[in-house]
């Protein structure tokens, strides 16, 4: 302990009492003087909060790992359907997109911010192990409103999703679409001469390719014209109106089919529109026909009051209008997409070869064991394909003979080789079959086979020809104790449905067109 021998003075800084009185207080014989230590220093208030600047950065010592949200549908931003909590770190620039298959199964894939519909389709082809890498598409589907639209190959998927409402049930569907660029191959079928306004130019020896080029060139595109039924705003009645489709937009005539400027009324600008196919338009919107489509602003969420519902007289008229909308809006971009689609698909990240086979399948070789000296490797590809077909036919003949043995149970006799084929759809009804073919494109030669709903042990071949779906009954036929299938009352017999399909892929027979495109479904 330190001993103090002289009088001491203790100073309290900021004491108002000392400054005002200037008197000293004596405690226990000691002299206590309350004076400031530094007389010029400013006074400081006690117990006051310290103001921290708002731009002060606090550095965290720990950086937790990014864990994807297992329930992304429970949280999301108010303006975008892409859920922020389910995104990877910001530096990776990847977003999670959910895509559905034909059977309501879905798969979530990480895509980049600028990923196009074509790139997402290629990614899904790889992840779903599709052997066929062509004619796949993303479909924008609105189940409640009954609207569908095939995304163009160059459209950015996230930009399309950004226009959806969070409360809607809109989804992306991964499916086939053979008719995406069919109007480039058969323009006369898609653009009837009667619907082209400048019919004089069409009659001057124009070829179909020249017609398409005119449609793609700005300023010289012939107008598309015709009557359409439109639903009047706020009413349930439909009115027949004459429409004109030009590069500048869609116009309606207030006086019959008059083209005079004073009778034309601008309906919409094509650059700001999307065109949709309406499913079940009679039930949802009271449409007078089944061939209904609609237009809406592409930047706004889909609302019933914003839809412009139009109804055509037949499928060819609706297809012409919808194809013309796409051509007028995108022009040469569609032609570029078409040329890209014709290129042979390249291998995706080394998982598939250019011919669609996997690496393990490519290591297999064709062998011939018909000789006496043992097996030999078949070097000629044409001979290898011929041997494969002969082996398939021999197997199906053995299967047919096995099913026709007398001691076989009658339930086991029909060959089941068709059950594993992509074109067989089991007990699908007629309406669903037509709907599936329409969704995947009304092109000549698209087909599927299904069980007959009205005839036991029979099948139905559903085939598309000239934008219409026709149905042919495949019946069992017995001859000389053997069971066959036929669609022409026994004139041509097939041991199973696979042989029937292979025959009509080469020879149309009684069918109006050969079987070309199998209508397939894929479960992601």
Instruction: Report pLDDT digits (tens) over 439-448.
Output: 888 899 999 9
308 and 436 both lie in a single domain: no
Q: Give me the pLDDT at residue 452, please.
A: 93
432 and 309 both lie in a single domain: no
Full-model pTM = 0.67
In a domain, 71, yes or no: no
Q: Closest Cα partner for 358 from 133, 107, 108, 117?
A: 133
215 and 129 both lie in a single domain: no
82 and 202 both lie in a single domain: no
Contact yes or no for 494/484 (Cβ under 8 A): yes
Q: What is the C-alpha to C-alpha distance for residues 308 and 59, in angstroms, rounded to an integer? A: 54
Domain count, the chain: 3
Percent of the chain surpassing pLDDT 90: 29
186 and 315 both lie in a single domain: yes
In a domain, 352, yes or no: no
Q: Give me the pLDDT at residue 361, please.
A: 41
Q: What is the C-alpha to C-alpha distance for residues 309 and 292, in angstroms, rounded to an integer? A: 7
Q: What is the C-alpha to C-alpha distance for residues 265 and 279, in angstroms, rounded to an integer? A: 28
Q: Which segment of 2-6, 168-172, 252-256 scores lowest on mean pLDDT?
A: 2-6
Q: What is the C-alpha to C-alpha distance for residues 99 and 122, in angstroms, rounded to an integer? A: 13
The CATH number for 279's domain is 2.30.29.30
In a domain, 375, yes or no: no
321 and 191 both lie in a single domain: yes
195 and 303 both lie in a single domain: yes
Instruction: Give the pair of three-digit tokens for residue 414.
Output: 């029909």
The confidence band for 27, taking pLDDT boundaries of 50, 70 and 90, is very low
H or E element at residue 430:
helix 430-439
Final residue of a domain: which of 310, 342, 374?
Answer: 342
Q: Give me the pLDDT at residue 69, please.
A: 56
The confidence band for 30, taking pLDDT boundaries of 50, 70 and 90, is very low
Q: Which segment of 42-46, 56-60, 419-423, 463-467 scores lowest on mean pLDDT?
A: 56-60
Q: What is the C-alpha to C-alpha distance for residues 80 and 501, in angstroms, rounded to an integer? A: 47
Which residue intervals of 240-365 are DSSP H helices? 281-285, 315-330, 332-342, 359-362
Q: Closest Cα partner for 451 from 470, 475, 469?
A: 475
231 and 286 both lie in a single domain: yes
123 and 210 both lie in a single domain: no
The confidence band for 13, taking pLDDT boundaries of 50, 70 and 90, is very low
Q: How many CB atoms lie within 10 A of CB 487?
A: 21
The CATH number for 87's domain is 3.10.20.90
The confidence band for 257, taking pLDDT boundaries of 50, 70 and 90, is confident
226 and 162 both lie in a single domain: no
Q: What is the pLDDT of residues 108-139, one digit of tens each?
A: 899 999 999 999 999 998 888 777 778 899 99
* Residue 335: domain span: 182-342
In a domain, 367, yes or no: no
Q: Give me the pLDDT at residue 513, please.
A: 93
Q: Which segment of 28-42, 196-210, 458-472 scores lowest on mean pLDDT?
A: 28-42
Final residue of a domain: which of 281, 313, 342?
Answer: 342
Final residue of a domain: which of 342, 361, 378?
Answer: 342
In a domain, 379, yes or no: no
Contact yes or no for 42/13 (Cβ under 8 A): no
- Residue by residue, DSSP assigns 11-76 as --TT-HHHHHH---EEETTEEE----SSTTSPP--SS-PPPPPTTPPPPPS--PPP---S-GGG--
């Amino acid at each position: 302990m330190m001993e103090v021998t002289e009088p001491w003075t203790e100073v309290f800084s900021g004491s108002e009492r000392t400054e005002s009185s200037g008197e000293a207080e004596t405690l226990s014989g000691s002299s206590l003087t309350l004076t400031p230590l530094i007389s010029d220093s400013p006074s400081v208030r006690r117990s006051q909060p310290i103001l921290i600047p708002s731009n002060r950065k606090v550095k965290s010592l720990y950086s937790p790992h990014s864990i994807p949200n297992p329930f992304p549908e429970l949280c999301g931003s108010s303006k975008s359907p892409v859920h922020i909590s389910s995104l990877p770190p910001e530096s990776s620039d990847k977003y999670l997109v959910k895509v559905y298959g034909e059977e309501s199964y879905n798969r979530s894939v990480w895509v980049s911010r600028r990923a196009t519909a074509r790139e997402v389709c290629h990614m899904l082809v790889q992840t779903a192990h599709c052997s066929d890498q062509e004619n796949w598409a993303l479909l924008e589907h609105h189940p409640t409103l009954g609207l569908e639209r095939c995304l163009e190959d160059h459209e950015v998927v996230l930009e399309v999703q950004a226009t959806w409402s969070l409360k809607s049930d809109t989804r992306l569907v991964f499916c086939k679409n053979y008719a995406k660029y069919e109007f480039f191959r058969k323009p006369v079928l898609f653009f009837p001469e009667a619907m082209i306004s400048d019919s004089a130019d069409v009659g001057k020896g124009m070829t179909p390719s020249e017609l398409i080029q005119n449609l793609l060139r700005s300023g010289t595109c012939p107008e598309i014209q015709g009557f359409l039924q439109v639903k009047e705003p706020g009413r349930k009645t439909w009115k027949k109106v004459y429409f004109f489709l030009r590069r500048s937009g869609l116009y309606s005539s207030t006086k019959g089919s008059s083209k005079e400027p004073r009778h034309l009324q601008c309906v919409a600008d094509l650059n700001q529109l999307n065109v949709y196919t309406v499913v079940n338009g009679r039930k949802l919107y009271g449409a007078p026909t089944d061939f209904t489509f609609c237009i809406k602003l592409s930047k706004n969420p889909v609302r019933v009051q914003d839809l412009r519902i139009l109804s055509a007289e037949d499928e060819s008229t609706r297809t012409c209008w919808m194809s013309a909308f796409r051509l007028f809006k995108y022009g040469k971009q569609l032609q570029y997409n078409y040329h890209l689609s014709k290129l042979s698909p390249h291998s995706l990240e080394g998982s598939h070869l250019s011919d669609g086979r996997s690496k393990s399948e490519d290591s297999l070789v064709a062998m011939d064991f018909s000789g006496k000296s043992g097996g030999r490797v078949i070097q000629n590809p044409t001979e290898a394909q011929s041997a494969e077909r002969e082996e398939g036919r021999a197997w199906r003949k053995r299967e047919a003979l096995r099913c026709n043995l007398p001691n076989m149970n009658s339930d086991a006799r029909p060959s089941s080789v068709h059950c594993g084929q992509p074109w067989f759809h089991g007990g699908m009804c007629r309406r669903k079959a037509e709907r599936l073919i329409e969704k995947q494109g009304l092109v000549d030669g698209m087909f599927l086979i299904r069980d007959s709903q009205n005839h036991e042990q029979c099948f139905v071949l559903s085939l598309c020809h000239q934008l219409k779906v026709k149905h042919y009954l495949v019946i069992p036929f017995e001859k000389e104790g053997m069971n066959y299938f036929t669609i022409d009352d026994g004139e041509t017999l097939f041991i199973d449905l696979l042989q029937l399909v292979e025959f009509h892929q080469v020879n149309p027979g009684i069918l109006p067109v050969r079987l070309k495109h199998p209508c397939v479904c894929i479960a992601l």
